[in-house]
Amino acid sequence: MNFLEIINKCLLELNYRQVNSLSELVKNDHQRIKTIINIVNQDICSAINWNFLLRKSTIEIPKNATEMDNPIYGRILYFLVDGKKYSYESDVESFLTGEAKDCAYSFYADKLLFGKSDIPRTAEIIYYTKNCAVDKDGNEKAEMTEATDCSIIPMPFDQQLLTYGTCLRLKANPSYIRFSYWMGMYKEALANLKSTSSINSQDAPFVRIFRQ
């Protein structure tokens, strides 16, 4: 569902009049709903290393290069250079002084650091994107701002999570008549998203019961 449709779902749950465009959202609660939808969307996307956030970027490293601009917006999972897996090292000094370990990389001032090589190299970076939305043309972006923008959370979970999560935060009162219902629907959608986010059966979520 796009941004405007999610907003109207929230308005419906809150017994507010629905709108035909973002320009009609002029009340304080309207602005809060728009803001909270993006907060909930970002919170969910950043909570877990979801498979739907995985992306790949390829960069060409010139010979003798020891640093390059970081081309990704996200958190690196794998850094592979010519098929070899590089490990992350927090010791930036060793890279700056030319004493870096083989098959290692680091990060400093939005630069990727690695050891020198006298031949060009190709690096493949597998990472979790920090983008949480996508526009109508499929371009990823940090948050939803246009009516036709969509969450990066896969359907059909986006509607339930963003609608009920937003209503919960907007009211933020457990005694509110629909609060328990919203909470139950939100938790159900989150559990279902977790259960379907991996094709590996061993990654399926489980319930742990503690005895008091």
What are the pLDDT digits (tens) for 90-121? 888 888 888 888 889 999 989 999 988 899 99
Q: What is the pLDDT of residue 120?
A: 95
Residue 202 has pLDDT above 80, yes or no: no
Residue 201 has pLDDT above 90, yes or no: no
141 CB neighbour count, 10 Å cutoff? 14
Higher pLDDT, 142 or 208: 142
Where residue 15 falls (left for φ over 0; alpha for ψ -120 to 50; beta otherwise) is: left
> Residue 89 burial by CB count (10 A; 0-12/13-18/19+): exposed, middle or buried?
middle
Q: What is the pLDDT of residue 212?
A: 31
Percent over 70 (pLDDT), the chain: 93
Given pLDDT bands bounded at 50, 70 and 90, which one contains residue 14? very high
Average pLDDT over residues 6-34: 95
Q: What is the pLDDT of residue 210?
A: 35
Average pLDDT over residues 197-204: 54
For the beta sheet containing 140-141, the strands, ordered from the edge strand earlier in sequence to the opposite edge, are: 140-141, 133-134, 150-151
Q: What whole-number distance in Å separates Cα of residue 77 and Cα of residue 85?
A: 11
Given pLDDT bands bounded at 50, 70 and 90, which one contains residue 15? very high
Average pLDDT over residues 13-32: 95
For the stretch 84-92, contacts whose Cβ atoms lie closer than 8 Å and that sit 24 or more positions apart, written own/partner, are: 86/114
Cβ neighbours of residue 22 closer than 8 Å, sequence gap 6 or more: 3, 4, 7, 34, 146, 147
| Model pLDDT for residues 136-177, shown as the tens digit of each residue | 999 999 999 999 999 999 999 999 999 999 999 999 888 889
Residue 204 has pLDDT above 60, yes or no: no
Residue 199 has pLDDT above 70, yes or no: no
Q: Quick check: helix, strand or coil at residue 88?
A: strand
Residue 197 has pLDDT above 80, yes or no: no
Q: Return the DSSP state at 22.
A: G
Strand ranges for the chain from DSSP E: 54-61, 67-69, 74-81, 84-88, 104-108, 111-114, 121-129, 133-134, 140-141, 150-151
